[in-house]
């Protein structure tokens, strides 16, 4: 997460990442819609990207899959893994 956000900032993207908040019961939850992508990145010349970040073997949830199917026909949507780092760096740098 930190590396992707750093690359985005270096290349002029604005980044939104919903941070988990502690509830009254002491649990941490990300507020908002269940399954919403981890990152939303916008650049006035390079586009709009929604990205879900996963480990190499991490699987998306049903809610994440629903968001993906709702978004990917309209905007760039990616499920990025550590092995995608070279592509991520190239995409965030490209115009």
**Helix (H) or strand (E) run with residue 47 in it:** strand 47-53
Residue that wins the pLDDT comparison between 15 and 30: 15
Name the CATH topology of 2-19+28-93: Trna Endonuclease; Chain: A, domain 1 (3.40.1350)
CA of residue 22 relative to chain centroid, distance: 21
pLDDT of 28 above 80: no
> Residue ranges per domain, the chain?
2-19+28-93
- Cα–Cα distance measured from residue 79 to residue 60, given in angstroms and rounded to the nearest whole number: 9
The whole-number average pLDDT for the span 61-71 is 96
Characterize the bridge pairing of strands 28-30 and 39-43.
unpaired
Share of the chain above pLDDT 70, in %: 94
- Where does the pLDDT of residue 27 fall: very low under 50, low under 70, confident under 90, or very high at 90 and above? confident
The whole-number average pLDDT for the span 51-64 is 96
Q: Name the nearest CA neighbour of 36 among 8, 76, 13, 65.
A: 65
């Amino acid at each position: 997460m930190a590396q992707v956000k750093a690359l985005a900032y270096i290349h002029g993207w604005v980044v939104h990442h919903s941070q988990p908040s502690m509830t009254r019961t002491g649990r941490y939850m990300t507020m908002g819609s269940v399954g919403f992508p981890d990152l939303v990145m916008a650049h006035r010349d390079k586009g709009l990207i929604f990205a879900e970040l996963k480990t190499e073997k991490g699987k998306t949830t049903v809610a994440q899959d629903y968001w993906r199917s709702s978004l990917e026909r309209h905007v760039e949507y990616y499920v990025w893994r550590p092995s995608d780092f070279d592509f991520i760096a190239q995409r965030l740098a490209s115009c």
